[in-house]
Amino acid sequence: MASSSDVNPSAGNNPGNPESGSVPEVPEASAASARRGRVRGRRAAIMAVPAAAVAAGLAILTAEGALGVQFAISGMPFTVTATELNGTGFEQFGGLDQMAPGSPNEGDTGGQVLVITSAIKNATLTKLCQSVDLGGTNLVITAGGGKDKVTASDLTTDSTELSGNAAFNNIEIGNDASTLTKAGVKGPIGVFSQQADTVYIGDLRQTNYATTAGVFKLPGLKLGFGSKGC
Protein backbone atom coordinates (compact mmCIF):
# COMPACT_ATOMS: atom_id res chain seq x y z
CA MET A 1 0.00 0.00 0.00
CA ALA A 2 1.24 3.49 -0.75
CA SER A 3 1.70 5.85 2.17
CA SER A 4 0.60 9.47 2.33
CA SER A 5 4.17 10.51 1.54
CA ASP A 6 3.85 8.74 -1.82
CA VAL A 7 0.87 10.88 -2.74
CA ASN A 8 1.86 14.24 -1.23
CA PRO A 9 5.61 14.94 -1.57
CA SER A 10 6.96 17.44 0.94
CA ALA A 11 8.25 20.80 -0.20
CA GLY A 12 11.80 19.73 0.56
CA ASN A 13 11.51 16.91 -1.98
CA ASN A 14 10.24 19.07 -4.87
CA PRO A 15 12.56 19.16 -7.91
CA GLY A 16 14.27 22.46 -8.65
CA ASN A 17 17.59 24.20 -9.03
CA PRO A 18 19.55 23.25 -5.89
CA GLU A 19 21.59 26.47 -6.05
CA SER A 20 18.89 29.05 -6.76
CA GLY A 21 16.16 27.27 -4.75
CA SER A 22 13.68 28.01 -7.54
CA VAL A 23 10.88 25.52 -8.19
CA PRO A 24 9.58 25.07 -11.74
CA GLU A 25 5.90 25.61 -12.17
CA VAL A 26 3.92 22.48 -13.11
CA PRO A 27 0.32 22.68 -14.30
CA GLU A 28 -1.99 21.39 -11.56
CA ALA A 29 -3.69 18.75 -13.75
CA SER A 30 -0.36 17.38 -14.99
CA ALA A 31 1.06 17.20 -11.47
CA ALA A 32 -2.02 15.33 -10.17
CA SER A 33 -1.88 12.90 -13.09
CA ALA A 34 1.80 12.24 -12.48
CA ARG A 35 1.20 11.58 -8.78
CA ARG A 36 -1.64 9.15 -9.54
CA GLY A 37 0.60 7.35 -12.01
CA ARG A 38 3.38 6.97 -9.45
CA VAL A 39 0.96 5.65 -6.81
CA ARG A 40 -0.60 3.13 -9.19
CA GLY A 41 2.83 1.96 -10.31
CA ARG A 42 4.03 1.49 -6.73
CA ARG A 43 0.88 -0.39 -5.72
CA ALA A 44 1.21 -2.71 -8.73
CA ALA A 45 4.84 -3.41 -7.88
CA ILE A 46 4.05 -4.07 -4.21
CA MET A 47 1.32 -6.56 -5.17
CA ALA A 48 3.22 -8.32 -7.95
CA VAL A 49 6.55 -8.93 -6.24
CA PRO A 50 5.25 -10.89 -3.21
CA ALA A 51 2.92 -12.95 -5.44
CA ALA A 52 5.82 -13.97 -7.66
CA ALA A 53 8.01 -14.72 -4.65
CA VAL A 54 5.33 -16.85 -2.98
CA ALA A 55 4.71 -18.85 -6.18
CA ALA A 56 8.44 -19.49 -6.57
CA GLY A 57 8.73 -20.43 -2.90
CA LEU A 58 5.82 -22.86 -3.11
CA ALA A 59 7.36 -24.60 -6.11
CA ILE A 60 10.72 -24.95 -4.35
CA LEU A 61 9.19 -26.20 -1.10
CA THR A 62 7.01 -28.71 -2.95
CA ALA A 63 10.08 -30.05 -4.78
CA GLU A 64 11.91 -30.36 -1.45
CA GLY A 65 8.98 -32.17 0.16
CA ALA A 66 8.34 -29.43 2.72
CA LEU A 67 4.59 -29.33 2.04
CA GLY A 68 2.02 -31.97 2.88
CA VAL A 69 2.44 -33.91 -0.38
CA GLN A 70 5.81 -35.56 -0.94
CA PHE A 71 5.07 -37.27 -4.26
CA ALA A 72 4.03 -36.41 -7.81
CA ILE A 73 0.22 -36.36 -7.94
CA SER A 74 -1.75 -38.09 -10.70
CA GLY A 75 -3.82 -34.99 -11.39
CA MET A 76 -7.09 -36.92 -10.99
CA PRO A 77 -9.23 -35.33 -8.26
CA PHE A 78 -11.13 -37.56 -5.83
CA THR A 79 -14.04 -36.89 -3.50
CA VAL A 80 -13.95 -37.54 0.24
CA THR A 81 -17.00 -37.31 2.51
CA ALA A 82 -17.66 -38.06 6.17
CA THR A 83 -20.62 -37.40 8.43
CA GLU A 84 -18.21 -36.18 11.10
CA LEU A 85 -14.54 -35.35 11.46
CA ASN A 86 -13.00 -34.71 14.87
CA GLY A 87 -9.37 -33.70 15.11
CA THR A 88 -6.73 -32.43 17.50
CA GLY A 89 -3.86 -30.28 16.28
CA PHE A 90 -5.20 -28.53 13.16
CA GLU A 91 -3.32 -26.44 10.57
CA GLN A 92 -4.29 -25.05 7.16
CA PHE A 93 -2.31 -23.15 4.53
CA GLY A 94 -1.88 -22.73 0.78
CA GLY A 95 0.27 -25.04 -1.30
CA LEU A 96 1.15 -26.12 -4.81
CA ASP A 97 1.06 -29.75 -5.98
CA GLN A 98 2.96 -31.01 -9.01
CA MET A 99 2.04 -33.80 -11.42
CA ALA A 100 4.58 -36.20 -12.90
CA PRO A 101 6.34 -34.78 -15.98
CA GLY A 102 4.35 -35.49 -19.14
CA SER A 103 1.15 -36.36 -17.26
CA PRO A 104 -1.88 -36.42 -19.59
CA ASN A 105 -3.81 -34.52 -16.92
CA GLU A 106 -1.56 -31.47 -16.78
CA GLY A 107 -3.78 -29.32 -19.07
CA ASP A 108 -2.55 -25.76 -19.53
CA THR A 109 -1.15 -25.38 -15.99
CA GLY A 110 2.12 -27.21 -16.53
CA GLY A 111 0.91 -29.92 -14.18
CA GLN A 112 0.57 -27.63 -11.17
CA VAL A 113 -2.51 -27.46 -8.92
CA LEU A 114 -3.05 -24.73 -6.33
CA VAL A 115 -4.40 -26.40 -3.18
CA ILE A 116 -5.26 -25.83 0.46
CA THR A 117 -3.26 -28.16 2.69
CA SER A 118 -5.07 -29.22 5.87
CA ALA A 119 -2.96 -31.00 8.49
CA ILE A 120 -4.40 -32.77 11.54
CA LYS A 121 -2.24 -34.44 14.17
CA ASN A 122 -4.92 -36.96 15.17
CA ALA A 123 -8.28 -37.40 13.42
CA THR A 124 -11.39 -39.55 13.76
CA LEU A 125 -13.87 -39.83 10.86
CA THR A 126 -17.36 -41.32 10.84
CA LYS A 127 -18.77 -43.00 7.70
CA LEU A 128 -15.83 -42.19 5.45
CA CYS A 129 -16.40 -42.39 1.70
CA GLN A 130 -13.80 -41.83 -1.00
CA SER A 131 -14.45 -42.02 -4.74
CA VAL A 132 -12.62 -41.25 -7.96
CA ASP A 133 -14.27 -40.92 -11.37
CA LEU A 134 -12.52 -43.23 -13.82
CA GLY A 135 -14.67 -42.20 -16.77
CA GLY A 136 -17.98 -44.04 -16.86
CA THR A 137 -17.43 -45.77 -13.52
CA ASN A 138 -16.31 -44.82 -10.03
CA LEU A 139 -13.86 -46.53 -7.70
CA VAL A 140 -15.50 -46.23 -4.26
CA ILE A 141 -14.00 -46.90 -0.83
CA THR A 142 -16.07 -46.82 2.38
CA ALA A 143 -15.10 -47.41 6.01
CA GLY A 144 -15.99 -46.47 9.57
CA GLY A 145 -19.72 -47.02 9.25
CA GLY A 146 -20.02 -49.20 12.36
CA LYS A 147 -19.09 -48.71 16.00
CA ASP A 148 -15.39 -48.38 15.11
CA LYS A 149 -14.46 -45.14 13.37
CA VAL A 150 -11.71 -44.37 10.89
CA THR A 151 -8.64 -43.01 12.66
CA ALA A 152 -5.56 -41.29 11.28
CA SER A 153 -2.43 -39.70 12.67
CA ASP A 154 -0.31 -37.03 10.95
CA LEU A 155 -3.05 -36.67 8.35
CA THR A 156 -2.72 -34.15 5.51
CA THR A 157 -5.11 -33.49 2.65
CA ASP A 158 -4.50 -31.26 -0.37
CA SER A 159 -7.87 -29.90 -1.50
CA THR A 160 -9.32 -27.53 -4.05
CA GLU A 161 -12.75 -27.53 -2.37
CA LEU A 162 -13.88 -28.15 1.20
CA SER A 163 -17.33 -27.72 2.74
CA GLY A 164 -19.16 -28.64 5.93
CA ASN A 165 -20.20 -27.26 9.32
CA ALA A 166 -17.02 -26.43 11.21
CA ALA A 167 -16.09 -25.52 14.78
CA PHE A 168 -12.63 -24.75 16.18
CA ASN A 169 -11.14 -24.33 19.65
CA ASN A 170 -8.42 -21.73 20.27
CA ILE A 171 -8.11 -20.84 16.60
CA GLU A 172 -5.38 -18.51 15.34
CA ILE A 173 -5.98 -16.90 11.95
CA GLY A 174 -3.36 -15.07 9.91
CA ASN A 175 -0.24 -16.91 11.06
CA ASP A 176 2.79 -17.15 8.83
CA ALA A 177 2.68 -20.74 7.57
CA SER A 178 6.34 -21.29 8.46
CA THR A 179 5.57 -20.75 12.17
CA LEU A 180 2.75 -23.30 12.63
CA THR A 181 3.05 -25.62 15.64
CA LYS A 182 -0.25 -27.47 16.19
CA ALA A 183 0.11 -30.42 13.78
CA GLY A 184 3.87 -30.59 13.32
CA VAL A 185 3.76 -29.41 9.68
CA LYS A 186 5.25 -26.12 8.47
CA GLY A 187 4.25 -24.35 5.27
CA PRO A 188 6.09 -21.77 3.15
CA ILE A 189 7.31 -18.56 4.74
CA GLY A 190 5.15 -15.55 3.93
CA VAL A 191 2.01 -17.61 3.25
CA PHE A 192 -1.28 -16.99 5.08
CA SER A 193 -2.41 -19.80 7.37
CA GLN A 194 -4.48 -20.72 10.41
CA GLN A 195 -4.27 -23.26 13.20
CA ALA A 196 -6.35 -24.48 16.15
CA ASP A 197 -6.15 -26.86 19.09
CA THR A 198 -9.16 -28.86 17.85
CA VAL A 199 -11.40 -29.02 14.79
CA TYR A 200 -14.87 -30.45 14.20
CA ILE A 201 -16.47 -30.66 10.74
CA GLY A 202 -19.95 -32.09 10.23
CA ASP A 203 -21.08 -33.21 6.76
CA LEU A 204 -17.52 -32.96 5.47
CA ARG A 205 -17.04 -32.90 1.72
CA GLN A 206 -13.69 -32.42 -0.01
CA THR A 207 -12.31 -32.44 -3.52
CA ASN A 208 -8.75 -33.68 -3.00
CA TYR A 209 -5.68 -34.26 -5.10
CA ALA A 210 -3.64 -36.01 -2.42
CA THR A 211 -3.82 -37.47 1.08
CA THR A 212 -0.99 -38.63 3.34
CA ALA A 213 -1.00 -40.08 6.84
CA GLY A 214 1.45 -41.62 9.27
CA VAL A 215 -1.15 -44.22 10.31
CA PHE A 216 -4.55 -44.71 8.64
CA LYS A 217 -6.95 -47.31 10.11
CA LEU A 218 -10.11 -48.13 8.15
CA PRO A 219 -12.41 -50.58 10.00
CA GLY A 220 -15.13 -52.14 7.88
CA LEU A 221 -13.27 -51.27 4.66
CA LYS A 222 -15.15 -51.91 1.41
CA LEU A 223 -13.79 -51.24 -2.08
CA GLY A 224 -15.63 -51.61 -5.34
CA PHE A 225 -16.87 -49.99 -8.53
CA GLY A 226 -20.17 -48.21 -8.97
CA SER A 227 -22.07 -45.85 -11.21
CA LYS A 228 -22.15 -43.17 -8.50
CA GLY A 229 -19.43 -41.63 -6.39
CA CYS A 230 -19.63 -40.29 -2.85
- Show the 3-state SS of the chain: CCCHHHHCCCHHHCCCCCCCCCCCCCCHHHHHHHHHHHHHHHHHHHHHHHHHHHHHHHHHHHHCCCCCCCCCECCCCEEEEEEEEEEEEEEEEEEEEEECCCCCCCCCCCCEEEEEEEEEEEEEEECEEEEEECCCCEEEEEECCCCCCEEEEEEEEEEEEEEEEEEEECCEEEEEHHHCCCCCCCCCCCCEEEEEEEEEEEEEEEEEEEEECCEEECCCCEEEEECCCC
Please name the residues in contact with 194: beta carbons below 8 A apart, sequence gap of 6 or more: 91, 92, 93, 171, 172, 173, 174, 175
pLDDT for residue 226 = 94
Domain ranges of the chain: 78-226
Residues of the chain with pLDDT under 70: 1-70
pLDDT for residue 71 = 86
pLDDT for residue 25 = 54
pLDDT for residue 70 = 67
pLDDT for residue 27 = 53
* C-beta separation of 223 from 140 below 8 A: yes
Please name the residues in contact with 20: beta carbons below 8 A apart, sequence gap of 6 or more: none
pLDDT for residue 30 = 52
